[in-house]
Chains A and B, each alone.
Chain A
Amino acid sequence: MRAEDLALALGGLDESFIAPAAADMLRDEKRRAPRVLKLIAIAAAAVTVAVLLLLAGLSVGKPRTPVSHPEATVRTEPGEPGGSSGGRPDLPVVKPGASPEKSTGTETETDPVATEPDTTTAPEATEPEYTEPEPTEPEPTEPAYYETDPPEEPEVIDGISDDEFYVMMYRALGGASRPPEEPPAAEPPEEPQPKDPGTQGVDSETDESGEPADSTPGSVPGSVVETVIPCGEPTPASPATGGTGDNPAAAKQWYLRTFSEIESGGTGQSSGGEVTPLPMTKAQLAVRLYNAAHNIGVILPAVREWAWFDDFADGQWYSDAVFEAYRAGVIDAVSAHHMGTDEPISASEAEAAAAKFAAIMLESGALVAGN
């Protein structure tokens, strides 16, 4: 008997023997994930903070070095008396940006800048100096002093609304339509009827967005669709457009007709989505795209592996959608282990998602590019 035979024989063990150990392994696996996440987050934070401090220090260093510290001036003497700034001599002074004041010219060398001590000392040490030129624009640099994540928040502010979503989708897909598989002749009779924006039945939103569509005029800033949206009938929506060419109502009509519901796609939400509060979240966007794809029989193809995310749970209304959209590369995570499921998605992110989604749709042949 060989050891390998014994190992193989063990393979015949009943599940009841294996289950408890397997459960323990699963538990360990779950515990480990957050730990790994923390380590990654800390490492990433340390690097970003160091870089930001470095960059901030570069810009801040200019006025400070000559004025505040005599020691610094001593240091600049050999280089340049006045406008210092650009040259090498500044770099070392700036680098320790974290501890610019306490450090004289020589001490600044302490490279560990990139490590932790800076993060704590830096903000306090530099801020006082900033208070003076406050009226100007020291703000952009401030985020650099704050620990870690904040840099993402400013992007989030410009979320997208319902109307913007439709316009964005229309733009991304260029007004694509379903291939005329069935009776191309049957389309004309259907088009005139595209009824009101809400007639697609399954969508609960249609009722709502019909109104806001009019109320929110220039949604997406960069107007594009000056050419009348070939949504059949620009019908009631045209007045909503602020003359920009973006016609939310018409775009919505096109969207509903193109991705008309067949069924709820498994998430329990219609493709129109629920009432979407102004800033649409990543999960909401994913659900919409997921339902839209499934409604026309397209499963978003996986191009990457799923990962563990601290804000993702199974069995939620968004689970399937976020899972599939992420694996298809349509949506991206905020960081290695944070999806940003409930966080507003920025306009640029949403546009990127729409573009990827459009590429998949057109590639799959489920939709044919419009004119």
Chain B
Amino acid sequence: MTRVAIVGAGPAGIRAAAALVEAGIRPVLLDEAARPGGQGYRTPSPGLDLDMAALMGSEAAHHARLHGLFAAIHDRVDYRPETLVWAVDGRTLHVATQGRAGMVAFDALLLATGATDRVVPCPGWTKPGVFTLGGAQAILKDQGCFIGRRVAFVGSSPLLLLAALQYQSLGAHVAAVVDTTPFGAKLAALPDLAASPRTLRRGIAYRTKLRAAGIPVHDGAAPVAIEGRDGVEGVRLRHGAREWTIACDAVALGHGLKPETQLADLAGAQFAYDPVFRQWLPETDADGRAGPSLYLAGDGAAIGGAYAAEASGTLAAAALLADHGRPQPKATLRRLRQEVARLRRFQRGLARAFAWPAGQAAALPDDATLCRCEGITAGEVRRAMAQPLGPREVNRVKAITRVGMGRCQGRICGPALADIVAAAAGLDHAAVGRLRGQAPVKPIPLVLGAEPAG
């Protein structure tokens, strides 16, 4: 019997588990969260008067179906919630559950690790009251809370509109939606966006609804600073020569998503630079194969959204089964490949329409914090680079300045760091490298690592 370990119980991981269960395999499904569903399709904490169907809107049926599927396979899966996979060593995963260390041996590994927000820092972004855009949605779905009384949604992402609408519909005051990308760039991306007309229509409907609710939507504006003494009191914006401040007590900040690729890195995946996403992405074939007995699915492989996550989870499981002597129906594989390719093409359109504002990242003022964990400014990075024989590659910059070496291990500041280094070195973004994944992929105390395996 093939021992299969799946990391991540979001849409991709659950679909993959279901496909394996159907083939008579009992996979180990490891998830860091306490409840299944991943970030977008999360399960609220118990005891909340939260109407998830209303909150999920057009995605309510998908949300319900995924959780129904999980309930149906639950007793045929070795499901381990609240379990961090912190290292991959050969055919062994190192895990930690509530302070206890353990190991999970596998013959095949399927990573469905999802994504986190990608943010461009701005002066004042470390103040209490500034949260990631995904976090603003997560706290609403998980805890039934808004991040503030008067919330500005700032960045470059289609989710700005969705999150603002979710907040507005539940009674929050939305101060504004500020989208860095000019409207013209969105029009230019229409050919790729047409790959998923349903999602495109939904995006247009979000805009219409926000306008109807009287919420200002600013295209092409960028945050100059988040202002306030102890917390957030406003966000100062610039559009061309015009500068103005929007009063708010919270900011949701998000410039798209980035795959959580640290485990794929440790498991031996190769990475290639993607100029559209401006990210280094793990290389896979069309089915999700990333190496011997290594499969990647969902947003952790390439940003594709929840539908692509489900389809790619099923597809990666089919590839895994085929590689282990159980050929899958060709028509099914073809259909899934087409589905995943179409949805990921749509996401490439989104990455153009809601572009990562590289110039804004590169222009972060010298006195602004870049690395929020270690408290290191953009100026410290530029000064270190300006020294004789100063570093021009992100891992060297990290070693010398400690940027990206703190608690988050570069998850948050990594993308902006690459733009700052590229601009300061006069190099292409692709030429400054990527922060390498290192074990443990999230901080663990030394004593945990030293405990015998359970």
Do chains A and B stick together as partners?
no
